[in-house]
Amino acid sequence: MNEKIKYSEQWDISAQYFYNKGYYSWMADKLTGYKNVLEVGCGTGYSTLALVEKGYRVIVVEKNPECINKAKKLLYENGYKRGEVSFITGDIVDEALRNKLVKKFKFDITICWNIGTYWNRQMMEKYLPYMYEYGLDSLAISSNPESAYAELIIWNACRLAKAKEVPCNIVERGSQLITAQTDPFYYVLKNELGFSSIEYDNKPADSLSNGGRMLTVNGKINAEEKVEIVFASILYK
């Protein structure tokens, strides 16, 4: 099976579970006070659906066309038409795309929720130079490429938000709470990019692993059916 299709089908199961459990609604509530959202990575559309249900207008940037097809179908089936959501097929690591988004699109917050992807040799060859540019070394990349990819995309989403001079909301799923006292990464990123403040919030949750998109914890795949996780929300202003 084509890996783009396989990823979209696996993630669709996990994302629907998050939607039905109200996790995406919790994430969307973090954006109160904003109206126009730029979403970096929509998956198969359940996060986007939660946003439009709360009245946000959404611009989606997604590199996987199979995910975009599923997202469009989901939104249409739930009564949402073109105009409430705009889809852009593209990769946020592309500097030209980021510049275009800053200059030509209206949004007042950038979000980047639950970033992931499939991995193969071609993907590694494409993203390796970007990961080196970001500052990762070969050992960090090879030991946990999915985590390395997520850091890269988060960095670029934050760079986009900073260039547009708007806030950025990151949500990651992990095994531990992230607070000002335990933050291993986001406070450093705040200072690197020059955001003025950072806000943390956490939601204990669970996720499908075996049956949905398999979860990787500390570089190892978790084959349990359900896994206890924490959604950590980080809001830069």
Average pLDDT of the residues of the chain:
91
Report the alpha-carbon distance of residue 131 to residue 145 in Å, rounded.
10
Q: Which of 23-32, 56-65, 80-89 has the lowest mean pLDDT?
A: 80-89
Residue with tokens 């946003």: 51
What is the tens place of the pLDDT at every residue in 26-59?
A: 999 999 999 999 999 999 999 999 999 999 999 9
**CA torsion sign, 115 to 113 to 38 to 69?**
positive
Q: What is the pTM of this model?
A: 0.92
Amino acid identity of residue 90, one-letter, is: G
Mean pLDDT of 71-95: 93
Can you list the domains of the chain with their CATH numbers?
3-236 (3.40.50.150)
For residue 229, pLDDT beyond 80: yes
For residue 214, pLDDT beyond 70: no
Q: How far apart are the first and last CA of the chain?
A: 42
What is the tens place of the pLDDT at every residue in 157-185?
A: 999 999 999 999 999 998 899 999 999 89
Sorting pLDDT into bands at 50, 70 and 90, what band is 202?
Answer: very high
HSE-up (13 A, CA, CB side) for residue 10: 17
pLDDT at residue number 142: 87
Residues 6+ apart with CB under 8 A from 199: 233, 234, 235, 237
Cα 156 to its chain centre, rounded Å, is 11
